[in-house]
């Protein structure tokens, strides 16, 4: 008997059919992936299982009985706990206070047993490898630590069914690996998990089965051992992985002056003796393991100072043959360099500012007179990018933090397109972005290359790196250890070069 059975569940909001006869089941001791594009119905289905919404029709059974719950609190009591992507924590409380909110352990005389509560919270924090104490206020935690606290909160209820919505979206890599280890242990103990994510690599690494939702319908349920990335993506978007990457239609002019060239670039303790060039219209991929120096190299080219200074930046940077020395991001922008950072929320966007304000940021001097922004010009610039990139936003004045991940990433790209950057550095351009939005971003990257923008592409998503790049450089321990032509690049060859670099003498 399955732990959870969903049969023919439908839900409509006005004219929008959010779910249309969705069916799947979750076994005891199973990690079941639930994937689909934004708007596919994943969140609606989660809210229905967690008793925050009621289905219009269909049947759900939990532990062999009809699921008929009146509220999320009742769902928790029944054994269903949810770790939300949009954190459900009170920043004014401690971590332990959040974990046991509404069920605080009490002293004999009725007061809250803070010591006991902290001790109980510490068990889950330690199991997840959290580096913060249970009595720390949530408002003082980093986004990654807040995500861990949210996961610990969900686990502290000791549910039989745990639903996780994009749990790694804010986690550092080592925290994600630790969480995977904990989930595997809990699976062995009999817990069932519904794991919602855009990261297909995590699906195949962690999960037992996958269910795909597309336009509110369940289009595939299959053991991961019996399917592959191509079939899952085809069920999500109706096309294969290879079809996501537009082919090059114009040749690269090898005789032209390089749009970007770095010569023996060295930043002590970060990277050493890095040399390469990118032709106008060429996409050069930069692969390697986390910590190989890729992101620090990108920041150095853009003029971002190092977190810790072990010595000055040495070597040369040339833009269209002219030596430049970006003294900071403003100087890099003036030289025609654009930079899409790895963490768009922390470094690429002002989340509380509008779409128009974010797009106009790199060219304020162009749209201002005597220090006053010409709003009409700003709206024209921003509106042009919203239309060209098909950014889904209620208005130009909508706060960027209210947009989906894919649309946020388009805003980051839009501000550099509006600026007219001739060199674009893309550091992990599609994290937390659904497959449909990824396809649109890939098409945009190819279109920019066809318009002679030189692109340095850093990506840990190997199919993305290989599918977009004209050639790939592999970094390891701060050095470029291999260069792979497009026809020679494979996931195996990129990873082999990265690991061989680790084994080479320093």
395 in a structural domain: yes
Same domain, 118 and 24: yes
pLDDT over 60 (residue 506): no
Examine the pLDDT at 166 and tell me if it is beyond 90: no
User: Does a structural domain hold residue 132?
Assistant: yes
Query: Please, is 112 exposed, middle or buried when counting C-beta atoms within 10 Å of its C-beta (0-12, 13-18, 19+)?
Result: middle
Q: What angle do CA 144, 148, 149 make, to 5 degrees?
A: 115
- For residue 293, pLDDT over 60 is answered with yes
**Chain centroid to CA 418: how far?**
24
Residue 108 within a domain: yes
Across residues 481-501, what is the average pLDDT? 87
Report the domain count for the chain: 3
- What is the CATH classification number for the domain harbouring 32? 3.40.50.300
Give residue-wise pLDDT tens across range 19-69.
999 999 999 999 999 998 777 889 899 999 999 999 999 999 999 999 988
| Residue 224 confidence (pLDDT) | 96
Maximum mean pLDDT: which of 84-93, 142-151, 293-302: 293-302
DSSP string, 408-457: HHHHHHHHHHHHT-SEEEEESS-TT--HHHHHHHHHHHHHHHHTT-EEEE
- Are 103 and 194 contained in the same domain? yes
- What is the pLDDT, as a whole number, of residue 191? 96
Do 318 and 191 lie in one domain? The reply is no
Asked whether residue 242 carries a pLDDT value surpassing 70, the answer given is no
Q: What is the pLDDT of residue 147?
A: 87
Residue 164 domain-assigned (yes or no): yes
Q: What is the mean pLDDT of residues 114-135?
A: 92
- Of 401, 420, 439, the domain-final residue: 420
Please give the pLDDT value at position 163: 95
Provide the whole-model pTM.
0.68
> Do 68 and 150 fall within a single domain?
yes
- Domain residue limits at 413: 347-420
Q: Has residue 342 been placed in a domain?
A: no
Confidence of residue 219 (pLDDT cuts 50, 70, 90): very high
In a domain, 248, yes or no: no
Do residues 301 and 355 both lie within one domain?
Answer: no
Average pLDDT over residues 381-403: 89
313/351 same-domain check: no
Is residue 341, in this structure, part of any structural domain at all?
no
Kindly state whether residues 310 and 353 are assigned to the same domain.
no
Q: What percent of the chain has pLDDT over 70?
A: 98
Q: Are 232 and 265 contained in the same domain?
A: no
Q: How far apart are CA 390 and CA 411, in angstroms?
A: 10
Residue 94: enclosing H or E segment and its boundaries?
A: none
- Pair (89, 228) in one structural domain: yes
Question: What's the pLDDT band for 252 if we cut at 50, 70, 90?
Answer: very high
Q: Is the pLDDT of residue 177 over 70?
A: yes
> For residue 220, what pLDDT band results from cuts at 50, 70 and 90?
very high
pLDDT-derived band at 240, boundaries 50, 70, 90:
low
DSSP 8-state class, residue 363? G
Lowest pLDDT segment from 117-126, 205-214, 363-372: 363-372
Q: Considering 393, 420, 447, which residue would you say is the last residue of a domain? A: 420
Q: Is the pLDDT of residue 346 over 90?
A: no
Three-class SS state of 95? helix
CB atoms within 10 A of CB 109: 5
Q: What pLDDT digit, counting tens, does each position of 446-473 carry?
A: 999 999 999 999 998 888 999 999 999 9
**Same domain assignment for residues 229 and 306:** no
Do 127 and 39 lie in a common domain?
Answer: yes
Q: Give domain status of residue 439, yes or no.
A: yes
* Last-in-domain residue among 420, 438, 464: 420
Q: Do both 234 and 284 map to the same domain?
A: no
């Amino acid at each position: 008997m399955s732990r959870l059975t969903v049969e023919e569940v439908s839900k409509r909001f006005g004219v929008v059919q959010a779910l249309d006869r969705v069916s799947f089941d979750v076994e005891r001791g199973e990690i079941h992936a639930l994937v689909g594009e934004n708007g596919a119905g994943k969140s609606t289905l989660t809210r229905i299982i967690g008793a925050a919404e009621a289905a219009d029709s269909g049947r759900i059974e939990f532990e062999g009985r009809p699921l008929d719950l009146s509220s999320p609190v009742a769902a928790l009591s029944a054994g269903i706990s949810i770790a939300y992507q949009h954190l459900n924590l009170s920043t004014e409380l401690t971590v332990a206070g959040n974990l046991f909110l509404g069920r605080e352990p009490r002293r004999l005389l009725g007061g809250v047993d803070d010591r006991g509560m902290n001790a109980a919270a510490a068990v889950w924090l330690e199991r997840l490898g959290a580096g913060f104490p249970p009595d720390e206020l949530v408002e003082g935690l980093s986004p990654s630590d807040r995500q861990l606290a949210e996961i610990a909160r969900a686990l502290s209820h000791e549910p039989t069914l745990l639903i996780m919505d994009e749990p790694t979206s804010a986690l550092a890599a080592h925290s994600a690996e630790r969480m995977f280890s904990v989930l595997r242990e809990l699976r062995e103990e009999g817990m069932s998990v519904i794991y919602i994510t855009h990261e297909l690599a995590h699906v195949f690494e962690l999960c037992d089965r996958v269910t795909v939702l597309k336009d509110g319908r369940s289009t595939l349920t299959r053991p991961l051992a019996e399917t592959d990335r191509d079939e899952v993506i085809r069920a999500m978007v109706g096309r294969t992985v290879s079809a996501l990457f537009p082919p090059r239609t114009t040749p690269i002019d090898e005789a032209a002056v390089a749009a970007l060239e770095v010569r023996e670039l060295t930043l002590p303790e970060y990277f050493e003796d890095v040399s390469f060039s990118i032709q106008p219209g060429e996409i050069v991929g930069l692969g390697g393991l986390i910590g190989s120096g890729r992101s620090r190299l990108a920041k150095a080219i853009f003029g971002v100072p190092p977190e810790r200074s072990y010595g000055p930046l040495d070597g040369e940077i040339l833009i269209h043959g002219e030596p430049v020395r970006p003294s900071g991001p403003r100087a890099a922008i003036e030289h025609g360099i654009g930079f899409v950072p790895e963490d768009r929320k922390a470094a690429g966007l002002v989340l509380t500012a509008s779409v128009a304000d974010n797009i106009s940021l790199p060219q304020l001097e162009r749209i201002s007179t005597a220090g006053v922004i010409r709003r009409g010009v700003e709206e024209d610039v921003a509106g042009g990018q919203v239309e060209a990139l098909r950014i889904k936003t209620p208005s130009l004045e909508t706060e960027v933090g209210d947009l989906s991940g894919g649309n946020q990433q388009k805003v980051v790209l839009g501000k550099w397109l509006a600026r007219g950057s001739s060199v674009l550095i893309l550091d992990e351009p599609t994290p937390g972005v659904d497959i449909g939005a990824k396809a649109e971003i890939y098409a945009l990257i190819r279109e920019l290359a066809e318009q002679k923008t030189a692109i340095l592409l850093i990506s840990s998503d190997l199919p993305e790196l290989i599918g977009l790049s004209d050639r790939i450089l592999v970094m390891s321990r701060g050095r470029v250890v291999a260069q792979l032509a497009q026809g020679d690049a494979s996931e195996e060859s990129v990873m082999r070069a990265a690991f061989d670099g680790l084994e080479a003498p320093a």
